[in-house]
Chains A and B, each alone.
Chain A
């Protein structure tokens, strides 16, 4: 299995003997002991620190099909280096565009995303309801809203329902998480620990979805639920809706309730709260472990990792737009 590598330390990465060499550099500019990364085992690179590299290296990474994701100082996703598209399929792109431009076809896919998201959200709430956290109010409210998903007449209406569900869902966060207050959801910048974790992990989830889409014939810019705007890969946003409750939110609950992440892991500034370097490492480690966890897939009858599950979701979407099999969103069954 290929692995993701996470680079926190500033340093220089270079091509060496047809493999990769990472040389960490400290604040004074002195180089540390180099580490060799076996290139055949690299899935992709996530760079959080500042990274030196030359075009020869990127040529090499491109040939080896390794993508590099970049994040700025404030943990925002700034972009990716993607190898040349190798899975091209005009047929899929045409079908995908057609499903976008036909409003009823678009609506049916978009509502499936919300349906999946709502289902997984309810799963989370029920789980904690069985564990002495009274989330019954939120469960009732969301269950009542659920029928509106399939009856929505437009994307805007659908987005409205989704917004309401998420709002109710976030209210339950304060009940589920023991020692932290979330209050309301704030981004840009996140105001407290929980918001900081949500922002950070949502972004990780988003890049993961993007990466998985790149391994299929789908075009990441044509989305169904989100407005396919400019300068962003909105299909990744669509897909991440389904997986955020399962991957991101569950991880946040367990990280905080098991005290793996504590107040001192955050950097509190005037009105923002961000993860410290050390905290970020812990979160990324937990995230990476989570992605490699396996579940027994019901229809495939074998164990698959959470990461692979996202790719399977892309395949289902391809099948749907090619009219082979109707798309059913992923619903957690455990």
Chain B
């Protein structure tokens, strides 16, 4: 499953969320991550995320598609992080 995850989280907790997301997905912009995840891994991520957030204030939105190829991506301006697997 290919995933785009965005979050809007209070400053007090946002650092934790960033660290958690970095383990599972690639950072592409402030509060935006994308990457390939299995369904189980996504569940795992969300379970851990729920422990961090305050559901009455914070929100996480996930866009998912079956495969990366069903997703068109355009970058205007600076690409902050490219997702190559070669360094």
Interface residues of A (CB under 8 A from B): 1, 3-9, 11, 17-19, 22, 24, 35-36, 38-41, 281, 284-285, 288
Of A1, A35, A285, most B-chain CB atoms within 10 Å = A35
Q: Is A40 a contact of B24 with CB atoms below 8 Å?
A: yes
List the 3 closest A-B pairs by CB distance, nearest first.
A17-B19, A19-B23, A6-B86
Contacts of A9 in B (CB 8 A): 87
The verdict on B31 contacting chain A, using a C-beta distance below 8 Å, is no
Complex Cα spacing A39 to B25, Å: 8
Q: Is B87 a contact of A40 with CB atoms below 8 Å?
A: no
Q: Is the interface of B mostly helix, strand, loop or mixed?
A: mixed
| Residues 36-54 (chain B) with a chain A CB within 8 angstroms | 36-38, 41
- Picked from B27, B36, B81, B87, the residue with its CB within 8 Å of the CB of A6 is B87
A-B contact pairs, 8 of them (CB 8 A): A6-B86, A8-B86, A8-B87, A17-B19, A19-B22, A40-B23, A41-B26, A288-B85
Q: Is A5 a contact of B85 with CB atoms below 8 Å?
A: yes
Q: Is A38 a contact of B24 with CB atoms below 8 Å?
A: yes
Known: A8-B87, A18-B19; 20 extra A-B contacts, CB below 8 A, are: A3-B36, A3-B85, A4-B85, A5-B87, A6-B87, A8-B86, A11-B87, A17-B22, A17-B23, A19-B23, A35-B81, A36-B26, A38-B24, A38-B26, A38-B35, A39-B23, A40-B41, A41-B24, A41-B25, A41-B35
Q: Tell me how far the C-beta of A304 lies from the nearest C-beta in chain B, rounded to whole angstroms.
A: 15
Of A6, A24, A41, A285, most B-chain CB atoms within 10 Å = A41
Q: Is B26 a contact of A6 with CB atoms below 8 Å?
A: no
On whether A284 and B24 interact (CB within 8 A), knowing A17-B19, A19-B19, A38-B35, the answer reads: no
Complex Cα spacing A24 to B87, Å: 8
